[in-house]
Amino acid sequence: MAAVTQTEIQVENTRIEVVDLRPGSSSKPSPARSDILTIKQYHPDLTPIVGPSPTHSLLLSSASSSRNPFFHNACVYLPQDEELYLTSNLLQSTSSSKLPIILISKVAFQRSPTAPNSADTSSSPLQISAAEWMKLRPPGVMSMPAGATAYKDGILYCSQGALGILASGGLFYMKSGKPPVPLVTAYGDRPFNSPQHVVVDRTGAIWFTDSSSGFEAEIRPPPRLPNQVYRFDSSTGSLRVVANGLEMPSGICFSPDEETMYITDLGAAKKDGTLNLPRETVVHAYDVLTRAGEPFLAHKRVFAFVMKGVPRAVRCDGLGNVYVACGDGVEIWSPGGRLLGVVEVSGGCSNLGFGKEREMFVCADESLWRVQLQVAGDHVMAVE
């Protein structure tokens, strides 16, 4: 597929709207706009995160052309290559007799100083001035890729799998320029349902969520496993269930000290995009404990009940603040579970990721945004 180059990407000032959530307040949030981002501030502690004069850029969009949801998931930034990798939502095949497809997008960035005419740009972040976008078909063995994370010198993908005996999903490591290598595709003799999101801890162990969302979307056979969360140690081959009792586990991340794990539950999400309330729209928190030399997740608790939609993905910044991809955009919560504010995105946010210049990438299906922050993301060094 031919590459598309977007040049002269504009940096826009982001309006901050202070909202009082207390009963009886006359404060009424304004509706989201599709052409710009707005920040709703619910607590003063949001200011050190976004700064007094935040900015944002629209990097890519399909809204004026195909309106296809190319910017849906993964959102993996490789700083050494200045590239961002994303996966689409389900796309209709050109043949009516075929199942939907998912495409991978590779976006290569060019940067320039924020203020090129200024005498001193030493403290200014390098903004993205151009983006080259290429759509790629995933290799056949890696069906329906969803979430992903940086791993070694490549990317670790969650493959949801497809219909058919030989189309099991799982975790696939894809080194740059090389075919994907399956790491784990089943629990015993039972294939995974549809792996969704994945994170790698500092020891190199891989933690991932697996749900029946593929079956709900009619791209997978009936599940043979409960919806669960797993830990896989590639050095020993050990695969363990570390959390269950979730309706539809999706996003997963660690706190910076890796003492807390956050897992989102999409129990209220329906196939047609509507919500089945009052089912789960929750971010759960767990303590990461060590027993007999092995890590366990304990003390499950509600960390956040999101304001709008379902929590599709979750990330932490370096200070432990929790960013949740929701129906209103990116909700930002303190480590103590206080809602600080929302980076409001028209149509909601499906995933997010962090870059190298205190930046956040926001996936909104038809649009890809960059938001300038004052804090760094939750990068974990790639494991050798």
Query: What integer pLDDT is reported at residue 189 of this predicted model?
Result: 95
Q: Which residue has the tokens 């490591």?
A: 173
Report strand pairing: 15-18 vs 38-41: parallel
Domains and CATH numbers, the chain: 4-13+60-113+126-309+349-372 (2.120.10.30)
Contacts with 49 (C-beta within 8 Å, 6 or more apart), sequence order: 317, 319, 321, 332, 340, 341, 373, 374, 375
Amino acid at 91: L
User: Three-state DSSP class for 265?
Assistant: strand
- Rounded CA-CA distance 139/161 in Å is 12
- Rounded CA-CA distance 312/365 in Å is 12
Residues of the chain predicted below pLDDT 50: 115-122, 380-384
Separation in Å, CA 255 to CA 68, 260, 303:
33, 5, 13
Query: What integer pLDDT is reported at residue 268 of this predicted model?
Result: 78
The residues pairing with 13 across neighbouring beta strands, listed in sequence order, are: 55
Query: What integer pLDDT is reported at residue 14 of this predicted model?
Result: 97
- Chain segment 325-357, per-residue pLDDT in tens: 999 999 999 999 999 999 999 999 999 999 998
List the Cα angle 176/263/232 in 5-degree steps.
50
Separation in Å, CA 142 to CA 97, 169, 187, 363:
21, 7, 18, 22
- Chain segment 244-265, per-residue pLDDT in tens: 999 999 999 999 999 999 999 9
Report strand pairing: 282-291 vs 260-265: antiparallel
Query: What integer pLDDT is reported at residue 26 of this predicted model?
Result: 62
**Residue 189's CB: how many other CB atoms inside 10 A?**
6
